Structure 1
Amino acid sequence: MISLILAAVLGCVYVYLRRKDARMLRNGIVLVAACWFALVGITEILAQWFPWTQWIGFGIVALSPFAIVVLAGFLISNGATMMRKEGRSLGNLLSLLAGLALLGLPVLAALLVITLNPVAIGLAALLFFLCSYFGVVFVVFLAYAVAYGKMKHTSVPAAVVILGSQIINGKVPPLLSSRLDKGLEIYRESPPEASPLLIPSGGQGANESRPEGVAMAEYLVAAGAPHDHVVAEDQAVNTAQNLKFSAAVARKEGRDGPLVVVTNNYHVLRAALLSRKLGIPAQVVGSPTARYFLPSAFLREFVAILKEHKRLHVLMCLPFIALTAFLTAAIIAVSQ
């Protein structure tokens, strides 16, 4: 019962924090904690009413190594699909690398332990602590990325900013057309007397024949958007610049007010976090993405968020390092 009460309290806190500002990762921490306590509370009640359900929990724990192997196999298979369809860039290899890590790290930890060397055992313990920490952080990220991606925009935007991605042979590929179609959908849903400005945003990459924003603007106009309602931003080379430069374009065009930013569903949370960091009043919405693309895409976004908050994560890992050093010293002391 206590677990369910905690779940209810955390659920209320989550709703309050999300309404206050949905663009904060702490909301994901509260959401995952609420779900965890709810699961524990429901499990406790079921165990009291139906004692046989305890065996289900034991079965899940017993099968967890098998589940890890299955997950690793899925990620490796997905990595092979990404290489075949998208090429061999590091970003496209992330699901493959994650799958290999899921198989290799437990083996490495076991090999360290069986050496019976105190330092090696300490390294195995540190590996366990760090993997557990980053596993929990990934669950928080993924849960809130999905939750944020399901939210609907609630304001009538002054402008709809559509974030760019790589164009191919000067043309808009399917991944980018999904964003543009979503932007057009939001534009057409707005009241005619308050039609937002459409701002396709993206500069010219080294392997692109022209700026992404220009190709995107042509796509929007060809799809029926009025020419005078489309203003391309063609200088940005990353998401932060997309947001900053597009907000400047909106102000220049006299569109002072909230923005709706459109990107693919895997990218919404990081774009939202960046918009908050830059002080830009924006809601971020997601467009559909091919399913095979999602595992590597979410992993890439997770790595990017870790890099943007690297100091915080280093500080959070220091207690694990200190605990490992203490345990290693204790093992050495006992063995002498």
Structure 2
Amino acid sequence: MPLVIVSCVFIIIGILVLLKERRSFFGGMIFAFGGLFLTLTLLMMGLFKIGEISTNISTFVIIIVYALFPLIFLGICAFFIFNTHTMQTREGRSVTAKLSALLGINLLITVPAFFYLLSVGAGKVPTWLFSILIFALLSDLLFSFLFACYLFYSWMYQMIPIKKKVDYIITLGSGIRSEEVPPLLKSRLDKAIEYYHKNPNAKIVVSGGQGSDEPVSEAFAMKKYLLSQDIPETHILVEDQSTTTFENMVFSKKVIFQDWKSKDSAPIILFSTNNYHVLRGALYARKAHLKAEGIGAPTALYFLPTALIREYIALLTQYKWFTLSMILACLAFVILSLLPI
């Protein structure tokens, strides 16, 4: 019951923060943490409660806990590991392509090692070594669980429908190799076109500069594609100086407010990117003081795990205070648990 109360407290805090600003990383992660932890707690409580009813049901519960759950866990790990093979086959060998395999192997090692260490106890391992190992494994498991929380928050953010009349649709650029847009960037543009047809008076802002290895700016290639899809040139605004997502938001904001004629009201703005990138894009929009909500274009299933892991790492790097606070929380927990009662 205490775990249920703690989970509910996290959920309430998260809701209060998100009601004020739904693009809050802290609020979203707190809400997701509470929601997932409450779900797991209630699931385990329910299974053990059912197990007390009769011997037959108790046996069934034991099978679920000690057989089905491990199989699901192994299946998830296998999926991440196999996904790297698919990524390397379709996208080529790179460090990024190995991220999903690293996660799968990490889970395969960390979870059994953590429970084995707990079963052995501090008595059979030197206290200093036990403390270091528990701290390292606990931190690893916490950040793995927070990855699941991030996935839930990212999904939840995109599930809220956008029904307002839209004035501007920013399309975030991605790498190009020629004047033709690649499939990833095309999907972002197609999503922007989808919302443009719902709001024919809106303008599409193509946002992306020219990298050292790109023949033209991303904005140039994006505008060329939009024109080929019968989008009027007068409804296309070009921002071709940005090199990062944050700059996409800052420079697009400048372009929009230079074009916006009404001084009595603020424009309704969307930004289009791929579904795995929507949440981080929204957080950057908030950082740029741009009131804009994100819409996500579909991404190939094989590409999603690696892309989501990369986004998660980027967020942990961006929100260093959050990462550090989680590490300190694990350290405090280990220290307190080893203190004599």
The answer to whether the superposition gives a TM-score over 0.5 is yes
The 3 A distance-change label for structure 1 pair 107 and 35 is closer
Give structure 2 stretches of 5+ with no counterpart: none
Q: Are positions 1:120 and 2:120 aligned together? A: no
The 3 A distance-change label for structure 1 pair 301 and 54 is farther
Q: Distance between the aligned counterparts of 2:133 and 2:308, measured in 1?
A: 27
The 3 A distance-change label for structure 1 pair 21 and 127 is same
Q: Are positions 1:313 and 2:329 aligned together? A: no
Q: CA deviation at 1:154?
A: 3.2
**SS at structure 2 position matched to 1:200:** strand
Q: CA deviation at 1:315?
A: 2.5
Contact 1:187 1:196 in 2 (8 A): yes
**SS at structure 2 position matched to 1:89:** coil
**SS at structure 2 position matched to 1:260:** strand
Task: Give the corresponding residue for 1:88.
Answer: 93
Q: CA deviation at 1:174?
A: 1.0
Q: CA deviation at 1:309?
A: 0.8
Q: Distance between the aligned counterparts of 1:221 and 1:24, measured in 2?
A: 36
Task: Give the corresponding residue for 1:22.
Answer: 22
Q: CA deviation at 1:72?
A: 1.8
Encode CA deviations 1:240-285: one digit per residue, 9 max, x unaligned.
Answer: 0111111111112226512101110011111111111221110111
The 3 A distance-change label for structure 1 pair 41 and 94 is closer
Q: Distance between the aligned counterparts of 2:138 and 2:8, measured in 1?
A: 29
Task: Give the corresponding residue for 2:234.
Answer: 228
Q: Distance between the aligned counterparts of 1:307 and 1:58, measured in 2?
A: 41
Q: CA deviation at 1:312?
A: 2.4
Q: TM-score, normalised by structure 1?
A: 0.84
Q: CA deviation at 1:319?
A: 3.5
Q: Are positions 1:70 and 2:69 aligned together? A: no
Q: Percent identity?
A: 31
Q: CA deviation at 1:3?
A: 8.7
Q: CA deviation at 1:328?
A: 6.9
Contact 2:10 2:33 in 1 (8 A): no
Task: Give the corresponding residue for 1:334.
Answer: none
Task: Give the corresponding residue for 1:168.
Answer: 177
Contact 1:152 1:285 in 2 (8 A): no
**SS at structure 2 position matched to 1:292:** coil
Task: Give the corresponding residue for 1:250.
Answer: 256
**RMSD, aligned CA:** 3.3
Q: CA deviation at 1:15?
A: 6.1
The 3 A distance-change label for structure 1 pair 70 and 35 is closer
**SS at structure 1 position matched to 2:242:** coil
Contact 1:7 1:38 in 2 (8 A): no
Q: Distance between the aligned counterparts of 2:140 and 2:192, measured in 1?
A: 39
Q: One-letter code of the match for 2:87?
A: M
Contact 2:48 2:61 in 1 (8 A): no
The 3 A distance-change label for structure 1 pair 55 and 134 is farther
Q: CA deviation at 1:300?
A: 0.6
Q: TM-score, normalised by structure 2?
A: 0.83
The 3 A distance-change label for structure 1 pair 58 and 124 is farther
